[in-house]
């Protein structure tokens, strides 16, 4: 199944993220920055889909609540782990209230075996962490079970 994901699908993922950030910047005047470190070709289409939805939610929250003037989205792809970090320089939180949006972020990441961390660091930070090896194994297992 992983062989069926074409490189242009992966490019579409990063291009969609660039477009999301640019549209957000133009509509809110909050500056956006995208950082990419590592081989994004290791990211499967399902990860891109989850990340795109989660960025949309994080941008909406930043515009509504953070009073930030900059958001940074970073993608770090290591050997077996991918980490996506959404960071704003706004007011952070005193007591994190996980509404439907943040719970949705968690559910989407966890549906791919990942995990989400939230914390304050000169603003609000959302870390989405995926184990690429486990995800690859799970998808291959699912594919074998579906075609058996």
On whether the pTM is more than 0.75, the answer is yes
Q: Are strands 31-37 and 70-77 parallel, antiparallel or unpaired?
A: parallel
- The pLDDT assigned to 97 comes to 81
Burial class (CB in 10 A: 0-12, 13-18, 19+), 103: exposed
Mean pLDDT on 66-90: 96
Residue 10 has pLDDT above 50, yes or no: no
Q: What is the mean pLDDT of the chain?
A: 86
Mean pLDDT on 34-63: 93
Q: What CA–CA distance (Å, rounded) separates 110 from 88?
A: 23
Percent of the chain with pLDDT over 70: 83
Q: Name, in order, each residue with C-beta under 8 angstroms of 6's C-beta and a sequence gap of 6 or more.
A: none
């Amino acid at each position: 199944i992983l062989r069926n994901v074409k490189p242009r699908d992966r490019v579409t993922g990063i291009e969609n993220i660039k477009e999301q950030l640019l549209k957000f910047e133009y509509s809110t005047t909050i500056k956006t920055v995208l950082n990419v470190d590592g081989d994004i070709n290791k990211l499967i289409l399902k990860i891109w889909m989850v990340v795109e939805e989660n960025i949309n939610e994080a941008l909406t929250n930043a515009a509504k609540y953070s009073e930030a003037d900059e958001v940074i989205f970073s993608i770090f792809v290591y050997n077996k782990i991918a980490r996506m970090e959404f960071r704003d320089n706004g007011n952070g939180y005193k007591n994190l209230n996980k509404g439907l949006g943040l719970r949705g972020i968690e559910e989407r990441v966890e549906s791919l075996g990942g995990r989400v961390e939230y914390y304050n660091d000169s603003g609000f930070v959302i870390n989405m962490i995926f184990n690429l090896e486990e995800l690859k194994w799970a998808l291959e297992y699912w594919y074998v079970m579906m075609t058996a």
